Amino acid sequence: MASAPSTTAPTLAPTLRTPVSSGPRRAPLPAALRLSRAQPGPAGCRAAPGRLARPRARVRCGAAARFIGQDEFPAEVLESELPVLVDFVADWCGPCRLIAPVVDWASEEYNGRLKIVKIDHDANPQLIEEYKVFGLPTLILFKNGQEVPA
């Protein structure tokens, strides 16, 4: 005799554990992975004050891509003869850290043809509001002082 088909379908998804589930306690994280207060970076690189950050996981400043502020924005971006790619970033932004190596590569690869600058989201609220930066990272291309439409 054939058995009746089961009414529950088997799942292939792994079981999820909640943070309060009973299970063995894990060993503490190594010191290099523990969160600490953000420290000021090298010249030109700013850390968000009072933020928690992993020590080695910061938005880096490449040789050609550098941080600028609201005061430098008109001269560096709007009056530039080269096209300018503006990267709006923050130290606490995970996706910003993920694309930072690509932005640094592009700044070196296209040196002399494209200028790349980074703007710290937390330190420049006026620029964030003016260019309607609602999510991070945001990349905006400027040519002849005008934002290039998408």
Check if 96 is active-site.
Answer: yes
Contact 53, 36 (CB under 8 A): yes
- The average pLDDT across 1-28 equals 53
- The average pLDDT across 4-10 equals 55
| Complete domains list, the chain, with CATH | 66-145 (3.40.30.10)
Please state the pTM of the whole predicted model. Answer: 0.60
Q: For 91-112, how does the pLDDT look when each residue is reduced to its tens digit (9 = 90+)?
A: 999 999 999 999 999 999 999 9
Mean pLDDT, the chain, integer? 77
C-alpha atoms less than 13 angstroms from C-alpha of 37 in its C-beta half-sphere: 4
Marked catalytic residue, from 64, 89, 96, 127: 96
pLDDT at 120: 96
Residue 29's Cβ-count burial label (10 Å; 0-12, 13-18, 19+) is exposed
Marked catalytic residue, from 61, 68, 84, 93: 93
pLDDT at 10: 54
Decide which of 22 and 118 is more confident. Answer: 118
Q: For 33-72, how does the pLDDT look when each residue is reduced to its tens digit (9 = 90+)?
A: 555 555 444 444 555 555 554 444 455 554 558 999 999 9
Task: Produce one character per residue of 115-135: b if its CB has 16 or more CB atoms within 10 Å, e if not.
Answer: bbbbbbbbebeebbeebebee
pLDDT at 56: 45
CA-based nearest residue to 41, from 97, 80, 79: 97
68/55 Cα distance (integer angstroms): 22
- The average pLDDT across 135-143 equals 97
The answer to which of 3-12, 13-22, 75-84 has the lowest mean pLDDT is 13-22
115/34 Cα distance (integer angstroms): 35
Contact 116, 80 (CB under 8 A): no
